């Protein structure tokens, strides 16, 4: 399907879609235009962390380890 056909199909869908879905489509499309930029300090920190990762420095966690750490932190907070 070419670009012109895609545009026409989207127009047809949007013209007939229920409000809830229309808002979801708008949010999805609007999200692509959001321009986020890092400050110089944030960029430097991320570059430092990436360098540490590439050079085997620092501690990296698997997803399972991350979940376990979060569970421990939440349990400790609930005890207080």
The answer on 44 and 20 residing in a single domain is no
The answer on 29 and 7 residing in a single domain is yes
For the chain, give the percent of residues with pLDDT over 70.
Answer: 95
Instruction: Name the residue range of residue 28's domain.
Output: 1-36
Query: Sign of the C-alpha dihedral, residues 4, 5, 8, 10?
Result: negative
Exposure b/e, 8-47, CB count within 10 A at least 16 = b = eeeeeeeeeeeeeeeeeeeeeeeeeeeeeeeeeeeeeeee
Structurally, how many domains does the chain consist of? Answer: 2
The answer on 46 and 17 residing in a single domain is no
Over residues 23-34, the pLDDT tens digits come to 888 888 887 566
The span from the CA of 69 to the CA of 75, in Å, is 10
The answer on 44 and 26 residing in a single domain is no
pLDDT value, residue 5:
93
The answer on 73 and 48 residing in a single domain is yes
The answer on 75 and 59 residing in a single domain is yes
């Amino acid at each position: 399907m070419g670009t012109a056909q895609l545009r026409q199909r989207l127009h047809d869908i949007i013209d007939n879609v229920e409000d809830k879905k229309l808002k979801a489509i708008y949010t999805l499309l609007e999200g692509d235009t959001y321009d986020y930029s890092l400050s110089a300090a944030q960029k430097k920190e991320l570059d430092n962390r990436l360098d540490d990762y590439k050079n085997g420095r620092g501690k990296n966690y698997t997803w399972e380890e991350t979940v376990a750490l979060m569970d421990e932190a939440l349990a400790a907070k609930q005890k207080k």
